[in-house]
Structure formats: C-alpha cells, structure tokens
Amino acid sequence: MKKILTVVIVMFLSFTAFAQNKNARASLDVDGVCMMCKKRIEKASLNTKGVKSAIWNVETHELKLIFDERKTNINTIAENIADVGHDNKKLKATDEAYNSVHPCCKYRDEDVQDDHKE
C-alpha cells in the first residue's frame, strides 16, 4: 500500500512539476537600443515576482527568461516591461510609458537607432 501511495505521490509531484515548471524558460523579443535599456528591461523583469533570471541581448533584442510558472507567466512579464516603456512581441508600450525613458533610449526614433550603430 505504502509503495503504491509513494508511486502515486511521486507521479503526482512530477506531473505538477511538469505542468507548473519552477524554472520555466522563455524568450521574448524586446525593443531597445543600449545598455541603459538593458538595465531597465532586466530590472522590470526581475521586479516581476517569480522571475529568477533575465538577460537581454542588445544586439539580438532577445530577452532570455527563467521564471517560476506557479508565480507568474510570460504575459505578466511582458506587461511589466511595457510599463517601463519597452515594446515587445506581446505588448506595445503606451506612449506615456515610452516617453518616460531617457532621451538617448528612444528606440522608436530612427535617429536614435542610428546613433547606436557604430
């Protein structure tokens, strides 16, 4: 009996672990231009409860995330990123949020984009 119970518990546990991954990985395209953007994006991600690691790449615009699925999901993270003014694949930042970023980070502006190319 004990054995069966253990097996059931283990199965149940591993099932939930599968369904609700504690270390889920995801990647999100986030718009930005510089290291200041990087700090802001990563900070906004990490300020989302449940996000454990967030690394944004200036060149590819890819944000690599590891988070606890039981506590948050990719949409919440995307929202928080948009709230600090960064457009991403899921959500476009409001103009109000976008206007709050530093003038040199205005990534929607083509002149600013050009400034950050070599």
Partner 1 sequence: MKKIIYILMLLPVFTIAQSQLEGVVFENGNSKTPLAGANVHWANTKVGTVTNFDGEFTVPYKQEYSQLVISYVGFKTDTITVKNLNRIEHSLKATSDLEEVNISSRKAATSKSYLQSQNIITVNSDELLKAACCNLSESFETNPSIDVNFADAVTGTRQIKMLGLTSPYLLIATENIPSIRGASQAFGLSFIPGTWVESIQITKGAGSVVNGFESIAGQINAELVKPTTDDKLFVNLYGASNTRLELNTHFNTKVSDKWDTGIYLHGNTHQKKHDVNHDGFLDMPLYKQFNVMNRWQYTNPEKGFVSFINLKYLTDEKQAGELDFNQDTDKLTTNNWGSEIDTERYEVSAKLGYVNPEIPWQSLGVQAAFSGHKQDSYFGLNLYNIEHNSLYSNLVYNSIISDSRHKIKTGISYTHDSYNELVNSTNFNRVENSVGGFFEYNYDSLDKLNLTAGLRVDHHNLLGTFVTPRLHMRYTAWEKGVFRASVGRGKRSANIFAENQKLFSTSRVINIQNNNGEIYGLDPEIAWNYGVSFLQGFRLFGQKGDITLDYYITNFENQIVVDYENPQEVNFYNLNGDSYANSFQIEVNYEPFNQFNMRLAYKNYDVKTQYNSGKLEKPLTPKHRFFANASYETEVKNNSKWKFDATYNWLGEQRYSSTLNNPIAYQLPEYSPALSTLNAQITKVFSPRFEVYLGAENILNTRQDNPIVSANDPFGSSFDTTFVYGPIFGANYYTGLRFKIK
Degrees (nearest 5) of the Cα angle 70, 73, 79? 145
Give me the phi and psi of 33, to 5 degrees please.
Answer: -130, -25
d(CA 68, CA 106): 31
Q: Which stretch binds partner 1 (CB under 8 A): 4-12, 35-43, 74-82, 101-109?
A: 35-43
- Site for partner 1 contains 46 (CB under 8 A): yes
| Nearest-approach distance from CB 15 to partner 1, in angstroms | 19
Q: Pick between residue 4 and residue 59 the one whose CB is nearest to partner 1.
A: 59
Q: Pick between residue 21 and residue 106 the one whose CB is nearest to partner 1.
A: 21
d(CA 45, CA 37): 12
- Site for partner 1 contains 53 (CB under 8 A): yes
- Site for partner 1 contains 70 (CB under 8 A): no
User: With CB under 8 A, what is the number of residues at the site for partner 1?
Assistant: 11
User: For the chain, first and last CA: distance in Å?
Assistant: 69
Single out the residue of 6, 14, 20, 23 in contact with partner 1 (rule: CB under 8 A): 23
Query: What residues line the site for partner 1 (CB under 8 A)?
Result: 23, 39, 42-43, 46, 51-54, 60, 66
